[in-house]
């Protein structure tokens, strides 16, 4: 790692007036940004603020419509990621690009130029692992690794090429609090050695922990460059979303009534080759409460959602009981008729069909709504329902009845949640309700979940966002590798305790929870 750049010289990289236009949309609008050698610089902004576009321009994935990039003071054109890497840029994407069946060393070697071979990769890998505390076993197959370990592969892959600037896109979204803390240690060390870091996030606390300068984007423009430690999280959030955001709150206290959902000894084999088996899941959701299910992505959340919704049926009917009816062997339609409603994680393609109009998308939960009669579609009823959802959940649409893909992520999420909440189901199960959604929409969604529960429904929220769960849940459990911890009132959980459960290393006195 080179650390010979003095901070009195020109900035390592300087973006001047970068703009990117997609049709009518100005994704980046005259952005200026400079990063000093050895600096950890935060790029903050809501989803859709233009962070990803800017980073892709910097990394040579897309070309800007206007603007200039200077590298150590001289103008450069970065035409491809290969050119970016040869300049000294490294990037760790939010979504990993790893081959599941190959080993760690093979995955690293495959991304490097041909003058590397497996032996040299192996030796450099152990050097870097030791120096930066990035423990990795070179011969493990990737599919056996946790998300945190996979991320380490991506980081090591960058570090092997001695980058001058390392870009990390939402790196902690897949990490437990402990793993995140470990990552911060690594980044501090890299920065001390002179490597600059561009840290993209929307989590304010970690930005305040890591960075001395933060550039805040909103709607494609730079709204401020600040020292995040000198502002409160609330002030920064206000800059990001443009106005003060309220907190969600519940008017009525949590008064649970009878059981609406009860899951007992639910087991399910994994769906695919690398799926997670559900092992002895026990869970009760009562009318009037919000149940939170925390966990790091890929620990069985989607399998649990499929088992609860009936997209996959259990081997025993009494493994899942909804509203007093044993329905473990019933499909999703039959469960909807028991007044249950479901919102899966993927908005486009799972919860909604991208190229279909909103009115057509109401037909997806047709089993429980009045949009069809004896096999015929009631087109006017569907349009009315879509309009009702759009107006009661503040869905901003470009036209009257647009295709689902024309909506922004937040607005589509409000629509798919609204589609279920509007009929006041007795049970609502939501997987990642605010994933990739702007703060305003997230707040509205969380509030509608709480309101639904206070009106006497049971709500189950599966989420990776711990802050969200602490905000909405009355009781919470943690899923780890297909096993669910016991449900405890939210007040009895600490973030540390949740983190330990997420890692599967919690020590429960008396060994109360079976694995």
Segment interacting with another protein, rule: CB under 8 A, options 258-266, 331-339, 455-463, 476-484: 331-339
By CB under 8 A, name the one of 112, 138, 284, 353 that touches another protein: 353
In the bound complex, what is the minimum distance in angstroms from residue 381's beta carbon to another protein? 13
Nearer to another protein, 43 or 343 (CB): 343
In the bound complex, what is the minimum distance in angstroms from residue 376's beta carbon to another protein? 5
Taking CB under 8 A as the rule, does residue 311 contact another protein?
Answer: yes
By CB under 8 A, name the one of 351, 430, 445, 466 that touches another protein: 351
Specify whether the CB–CB gap between 286 and 454 falls below 8 A.
no
CA atoms of 86 and 494, how far apart (whole Å): 45
CA atoms of 260 and 292, how far apart (whole Å): 15
Segment interacting with another protein, rule: CB under 8 A, options 119-127, 138-146, 358-366, 421-429: 358-366
Taking CB under 8 A as the rule, does residue 397 contact another protein?
Answer: no
Specify whether the CB–CB gap between 335 and 306 falls below 8 A.
no
In the bound complex, what is the minimum distance in angstroms from residue 332's beta carbon to another protein? 5
Question: Hey, how many other C-beta atoms are within 10 angstroms of the C-beta on 466?
Answer: 20
Segment interacting with another protein, rule: CB under 8 A, options 231-239, 290-298, 362-370, 385-393: 362-370
By CB under 8 A, name the one of 244, 376, 509, 510 that touches another protein: 376
By CB under 8 A, name the one of 101, 333, 370, 496 that touches another protein: 333
In the bound complex, what is the minimum distance in angstroms from residue 414's beta carbon to another protein? 18
Q: What angle do CA 482, 488, 493 make, to 5 degrees?
A: 95
Nearer to another protein, 83 or 280 (CB): 83
Taking CB under 8 A as the rule, does residue 339 contact another protein?
Answer: no
* Alpha-carbon separation of residue 117 from 120, 161, 341, 391 (angstroms): 6, 14, 53, 60
In the bound complex, what is the minimum distance in angstroms from residue 103's beta carbon to another protein? 29
Taking CB under 8 A as the rule, does residue 271 contact another protein?
Answer: no
Nearer to another protein, 342 or 493 (CB): 342
Taking CB under 8 A as the rule, does residue 375 contact another protein?
Answer: yes
Torsion of CA 450, 454, 459, 464, to 10 degrees: 20
Nearer to another protein, 351 or 422 (CB): 351
Specify whether the CB–CB gap between 260 and 322 falls below 8 A.
yes
Question: Hey, how many other C-beta atoms are within 10 angstroms of the C-beta on 275?
Answer: 16
CA atoms of 18 and 332, how far apart (whole Å): 48
Over the window 17 to 56, marking each residue x when it contacts another protein by CB under 8 A and - when it does not, the resulting string is ------xx--------------------------------
SS3 for 84-100 is: HHHHCEEEECCCCCCCC
By CB under 8 A, name the one of 33, 92, 278, 332 that touches another protein: 332
Bridge-partner residues for 218, per DSSP? 221
In the bound complex, what is the minimum distance in angstroms from residue 460's beta carbon to another protein? 17
* Alpha-carbon separation of residue 408 from 307, 347, 476 (angstroms): 29, 11, 30
In the bound complex, what is the minimum distance in angstroms from residue 371's beta carbon to another protein? 9
Specify whether the CB–CB gap between 15 and 71 falls below 8 A.
no
The interface with another protein within residues 52-111 (CB under 8 A) comprises 63-64, 77-79
* Alpha-carbon separation of residue 25 from 18, 224, 401 (angstroms): 14, 21, 20
Nearer to another protein, 246 or 272 (CB): 272
* Alpha-carbon separation of residue 293 from 10, 77, 220 (angstroms): 48, 46, 34
Query: Under rule CB under 8 A, how many of the chain's residues touch another protein?
Result: 35
Taking CB under 8 A as the rule, does residue 346 contact another protein?
Answer: yes
Phi/psi class of residue 57: alpha, beta or left (left: φ > 0; alpha: ψ in -120 to 50)?
Answer: alpha
Listing DSSP states for 250-290 in one string gives -SS-----SEEEEEEEEEE--SSTT---EEEEEEEEETT-E
Taking CB under 8 A as the rule, does residue 367 contact another protein?
Answer: yes
DSSP conformation class of 245: P
Nearer to another protein, 141 or 353 (CB): 353
Segment interacting with another protein, rule: CB under 8 A, options 89-97, 249-257, 338-346, 486-494: 338-346
Nearer to another protein, 63 or 394 (CB): 63
Contacts to another protein by CB under 8 A? 23-24, 63-64, 77-79, 309, 311, 331-333, 336, 342, 344, 346, 349-356, 360, 363-367, 372, 375-377, 379
């Amino acid at each position: 790692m080179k650390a010979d750049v003095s901070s009195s010289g020109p900035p390592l990289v300087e973006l001047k007036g970068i703009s990117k236009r997609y049709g009518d949309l100005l994704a980046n609008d005259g952005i200026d940004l400079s990063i000093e050698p050895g600096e950890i610089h935060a790029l903050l902004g809501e989803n859709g603020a233009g962070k990803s576009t800017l980073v892709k321009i910097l990394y040579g994935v897309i070309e800007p419509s206007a603007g200039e990039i200077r590298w150590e003071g001289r103008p450069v054109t970065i035409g491809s990621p290969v050119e970016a890497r040869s300049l000294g840029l490294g990037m760790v994407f939010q979504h990993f690009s790893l081959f599941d069946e190959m080993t760690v060393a093979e995955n690293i070697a495959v991304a490097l130029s041909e003058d590397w071979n497996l032996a040299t990769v192996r030796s450099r890998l152990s050097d870097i692992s030791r120096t930066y505390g990035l423990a990795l076993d070179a011969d493990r197959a990737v599919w056996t690794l946790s998300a945190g370990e996979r991320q380490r592969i991506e980081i090591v892959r960058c570090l092997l090429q001695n980058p001058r600037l390392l870009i990390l896109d939402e790196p902690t979204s897949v990490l437990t609090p402990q793993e995140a803390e470990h990552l911060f240690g690594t980044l501090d060390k890299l920065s001390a050695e002179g490597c600059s870091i561009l840290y993209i996030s929307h989590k304010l606390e970690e930005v305040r922990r890591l960075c001395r300068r933060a550039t805040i984007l909103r709607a494609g423009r730079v709204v401020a460059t600040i020292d995040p430690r000198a502002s409160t999280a609330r002030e920064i959030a206000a800059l990001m979303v443009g106005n003060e955001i309220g907190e969600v709150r519940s008017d009525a206290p949590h008064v649970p009534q009878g059981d609406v959902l009860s899951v007992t000894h639910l087991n399910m084999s994994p769906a695919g080759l690398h799926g997670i088996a559900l092992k002895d899941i026990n869970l009760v959701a009562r009318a009037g409460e919000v149940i939170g299910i925390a966990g790091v992505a890929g620990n069985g959340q989607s399998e649990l959602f499929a088992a609860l919704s009936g997209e996959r049926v259990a081997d025993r009917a009494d493994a899942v009981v909804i509203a007093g009816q044993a329905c473990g062997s019933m499909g999703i339609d039959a469960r909807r008729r028991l007044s249950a409603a479901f919102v899966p994680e993927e908005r486009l393609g799972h919860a909604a069909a991208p190229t279909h109009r909103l009115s057509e998308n109401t037909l997806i939960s047709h089993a429980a709504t009045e949009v069809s009669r004896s096999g015929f579609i009631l087109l006017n009823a569907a349009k009315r329902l879509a309009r009702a959802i759009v107006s009661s959940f503040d869905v901003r649409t470009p036209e009257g009845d647009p295709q689902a893909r024309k909506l922004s992520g937040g607005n589509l999420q409000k629509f798919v949640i609204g589609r279920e909440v509007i009929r006041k189901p007795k049970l609502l199960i939501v997987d990642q309700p605010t994933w990739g959604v702007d703060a305003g929409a997230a707040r509205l969604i969380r509030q509608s979940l709480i309101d639904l529960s206070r009106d006497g429904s049971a709500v189950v929220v599966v989420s990776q966002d711990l802050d969200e769960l602490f905000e909405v849940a009355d009781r919470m459990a943690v899923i780890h590798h297909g096993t669910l911890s016991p449900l405890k009132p939210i007040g009895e959980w600490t973030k540390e305790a949740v983190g330990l459960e997420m890692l599967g290393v919690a020590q429960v006195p008396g060994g109360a929870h079976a694995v």
